Every structure is written in C-alpha cells, then in structure tokens.
C-alpha cells in the first residue's frame, strides 16, 4: 500500500485562501471543501496570517545578512582607503621635511 504524498502549499496560495475567508467572499467551510483542506490547517494559516499582519506596516526593514555583510565590508574598505591616503600624505610630508633638513 503506497502512502499519499503530502501536499505542500505556496505562501501565495495560503494568503489567497486566508484573504478569501477574511474578506468574507467565502466561509472557511466553503474554502476547505473547495480545496480539500482540513479546517484546522486553514485555521492555523489564518492565525499565523493575522499574527504577522503588523509586520506589513513596520517601518524597519528586514535585513538580509549578505547585504549587511556587504555594507560592512564597503564601510571598512572606505575607512582603509582613507587611512591609506592619510598615511601616504604623511609619508610624503616627512620625506620633504627630511630632504629639507638634509640640505641645511
């Protein structure tokens, strides 16, 4: 006897199902019958959707670790470039002072 493969649902599908219920277009029972879903599954999707709804209006952006790392490396590269420029100017100034004192 073969086992039934578990269905996996995309976030878009879950949102579509939950929005249909929340907007009152269809009842939860209608959506469950239409898509052959268990009511407790749809209920958990709805709970998760409502719980995370505040994130939509959040002013802070979700940061990507890779983008954060790139920004940190760019900041560090800029700092090192500035330090190198200062060191070159200081070296040139010291060399000119040494050559002036050697001439005297």
Q: What is the pLDDT of residues 59-93, one digit of tens each?
A: 666 678 898 899 999 999 999 999 999 999 999 99
Q: Are residues 15 and 48 in the same domain?
A: yes
Share of the chain above pLDDT 70, in %: 93
What pTM value is reported for the model?
Answer: 0.53
Identify whether residues 14 and 40 lie together within a single domain. Answer: yes
Nearest alpha-carbon partner for 21 in 2, 44, 1: 44
The percentage of the chain sitting over the pLDDT mark of 90, rounded to a whole number, equals 65
44 and 16 assigned to the same domain: yes
Phi-psi region of 52 (alpha: psi -120 to 50; beta: other; left: phi over 0): alpha
**Structurally, how many domains does the chain consist of?**
2
**104 falls in which pLDDT band (50, 70, 90)?**
low
Domain residues for 35? 9-54
pLDDT at 32: 95
Whole-number mean pLDDT of the chain?
Answer: 89
- Cα–chain-centroid distance for residue 83? 32
> Is residue 59 situated within a structural domain?
no
């Amino acid at each position: 006897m073969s086992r039934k493969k578990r269905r996996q649902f995309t976030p878009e599908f879950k949102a579509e199902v939950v929005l249909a219920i929340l907007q009152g277009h269809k009842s939860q029972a209608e959506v469950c019958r239409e898509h052959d879903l268990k009511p407790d599954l749809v209920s958990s999707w709805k709970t998760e959707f409502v719980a995370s709804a505040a994130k939509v209006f959040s002013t802070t952006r979700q940061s990507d670790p890779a983008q954060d790392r790139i920004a940190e490396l760019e900041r560090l590269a800029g700092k090192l470039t500035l330090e190198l420029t200062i060191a070159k100017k200081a070296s040139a100034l010291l060399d000119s002072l040494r050559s002036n004192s050697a001439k005297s």
